[in-house]
Amino acid sequence: MLRVRTDFTGMSNGPAFSNLYFDGAGSSDAAAANTAVGAFWAAMANGMINYGIATTEPTVAELGLAGVLTAFWPVAPIAHSGTLTDTALPPANQGLLRLHTGLVIGHRQLIGHVFLPGACESNNTSGGVADSGYIALADAAGAGLVAATIPWVVWSRAHAAMYPIVSASTASKWAILRSRRD
């Protein structure tokens, strides 16, 4: 399994990162996964503040299903800046892309999540939810990653398994990602 980490800089909420996982191994799969993640953030650029920069890290980690690192593969970092110039939403407000696997494990649907930082007032409705344009943009970016040549997966540390993502959908309400280290 491969992990592509994206670092976010320039946003007022300080340094942040996103981990996306793929079913693959070796340097060519690592390069494909890095390219797919770069294309995902390029597709999200029109939904992010212009001083926010999403950059893939220069290495892709290869992990066993238990989460043990087995290798690192060098890749060319891919950076994309947001394009929106209006007022940023508070850093706590982020878009939420839900990753659907279609599986039920332990009487629960297995759904992954990707938090999408850098949203602006132009993405927001007067009712305080994401507007239809933002939702369509994020849905299209998610669909592009689902259709990538390398399978995008949800990794379950608890079950030491990965599950293919069959679709992605954007929540209409803004999500809040609280730090796991506070």
Span 122-144, pLDDT tens digits: 999 988 899 999 999 999 999 99
DSSP state of 31: H
Here the tokens at position 125 are 């409705």
Q: What is the mean pLDDT of the chain?
A: 92
Inter-residue contact 38 to 30 (CB < 8 Å): no
| Burial status of residue 126 (CB atoms within 10 A of its CB: 0-12, 13-18, 19 or more) | exposed
Residue 182 placed within a domain: no
Residue 143 placed within a domain: yes
Residue 144 placed within a domain: yes
Report whether pLDDT(18) > 90.
Answer: yes
Residue 12 confidence (pLDDT): 64
Residue 176 placed within a domain: no
DSSP state of 42: H
Residue 182 confidence (pLDDT): 39
Residue 151 confidence (pLDDT): 97
Among residues of the chain, what percentage have pLDDT more than 90? Answer: 77
Cα→Cα distances 18→13, 48, 124, Å: 14, 15, 23
* Domain boundaries, position 115: 2-170
Secondary-structure breakdown of the chain: helix, strand, coil percentages, each rounded to the nearest 5: 20, 40, 35
> How many domains does the structure of the chain reveal?
1
Residue 88 placed within a domain: yes
